Chain A
């Protein structure tokens, strides 16, 4: 089953082409890492897929259009920037509970508080459930937001730089958590990250985006297969990688190992 199909996607903002003719698939249960330079269009790609930007081309999420998929509650989203009013009256517990609210109608389950607590404990934030969300630190907000996404029990999640602001110690836990929801719950993950050196051992596929998607069945930039395996891990069954149009991508891909 294809969790995500993107065909000939082109996004223009104010007449400027941000994403040009991008096509790719994500199979159910996969983790796709999207990398690319700042301004490469990663956030725009996710926002177009979720129906927040106008596009031409075709997007299917589990076979549905974006708006159908959202209505069916299949999607989860963690945006890149989240500047919330620190005084907004929503407590951590309430925000995670909001994540459980879907579509038009339907109440929270009667055991919603326990459920919220279990999602918060996955991100080690259960002690903060009664705290105003806006008063948490950036990294704490990020963790609670991940709990919110999980609470929606989505089939596919779009995480835009989810590890931003999460401290070094928690990073490892965070990736373990992603692996866990991917393996145990079968959640398909589409994740933007600049930390390709770290995420490469967790993800199944990589997409390198800089306006166009630089996809090659065979990596052209890194010729040494040994290095490739070290960087991407053995789970790399297919690699989407850059070509000469993609300036910053090479150094990102082999970060920590070798810079081109």
Chain B
């Protein structure tokens, strides 16, 4: 057990995984409360189009993924805020289109050495120091912004118009949130992959939602479950020789099912 922690690739995985768990733990609370569960799916699949374009152009695929993720997030957010269509409709249109573009880009690239599976499902056990560094930078900046506006973001999640009447910059906070989600999706591509990141953005918050009526406690619990999911998933994947991203997701789902069966919130109101 201890020897495992001494392995350099394991240390990198734990460090970057902890940062990812912390941010997705917080973001998933807002995603669950704002009923935006599909936003992670939408943004991450859009990022796939960017990855493919990066491969085609021979540039760093994470940069093009970032650009695509941001465009996708603002598209979803913009349509959602206009109120003319539900977010799920715009997400449905967007992510299929971006995936289609991705497949077309890959078709053009004739680069058959590309590890598409790696982008789709990730591998937290093969991170470079640069990956870890990037995730820490993005994590810290995101946390600073969230800490700065934490209560205001909750007020806006509860009722955006009421927050607006109080002079709270609700549009800014909404787009800030989408930007942080986009960055998080991109740093998580290496770790858990495009397909699985949406689970990290929903399940921890969903478990916490089942437990408490206290929003601060909900965030704390969500972070704890997120970290548990990543640590336990890493351990299982290492010892049972399973793919890491998938094991993390299944671990989180198992935790969710346990709390769904217990239904703590239904038992006592305060």
Contact = CB atoms under 8 A, between A and B. Distances in A.
A131 B161 contact: no
B209 interface: yes
Contacts of B215: 89-90, 94
Given A72-B167, A99-B166, A90 B158 contact: yes
**Max chain B CB contacts within 10 Å: which of A50, A94, A108?**
A94
B165 interface: yes
A171 to B, nearest CB: 24
Interface in B112-164: 148, 151-152, 154-155, 158-159, 161-164
Interface string B57-101: 000000000000000000000000000000000000000000000
Interface string A55-83: 00000000000000011110111010010
Contacts of B165: 50, 70, 75-77
A77 B163 CA distance: 10
A108 B151 CA distance: 10
Interface in B204-234: 209, 212-215, 217-218
Contacts of B265: 87
A95 B164 CA distance: 15
Given A89-B212, A132-B213, A79 B161 contact: yes
A91 B212 CA distance: 10
B164 A70 contact: yes
Contacts of A103: 166-169
Contacts of B169: 103-104
A71 B167 contact: yes
A233 to B, nearest CB: 30
A76 B13 CA distance: 49
B158 A95 contact: yes
B261 interface: no
A150 B163 CA distance: 14
A132 B270 contact: yes
Interface in B25-53: 33
Contacts of B163: 98, 101
A8 B90 CA distance: 37
B164 A89 contact: no
Interface residues of A, number: 35
Contacts of A79: 161-162
Contacts, number: 84
Interface in A144-186: 148, 152
A49 B152 CA distance: 23
A102 interface: yes
A245 B165 CA distance: 33
B269 A132 contact: yes
A113 to B, nearest CB: 14
Contacts of B269: 131-132, 135
A234 interface: no
Nearest to A95: B158
A52 interface: yes
A84 B159 contact: yes
Contacts of B162: 77, 79, 98, 148
B144 to A, nearest CB: 13
Nearest to B166: A102
Contacts of A88: 33, 158
Nearest to B216: A94
A95 B158 CA distance: 9
A102 B168 CA distance: 6
Interface in B169-219: 169, 209, 212-215, 217-218
Given A88-B158, A103-B168, 20 more contacts: A50-B165, A52-B161, A71-B167, A73-B167, A84-B158, A87-B213, A89-B213, A89-B214, A89-B215, A89-B218, A90-B154, A90-B158, A97-B151, A98-B154, A98-B163, A101-B155, A101-B163, A102-B166, A131-B269, A135-B269
Interface of A: 50-52, 70-73, 75-77, 79, 82, 84, 87-91, 94-95, 97-99, 101-105, 108, 130-132, 135, 148, 152
Closest 5 A-B residue pairs measured CB to CB? A132-B213, A98-B155, A77-B165, A103-B167, A71-B167
Interface of B: 33, 148, 151-152, 154-155, 158-159, 161-169, 209, 212-215, 217-218, 265, 269-270
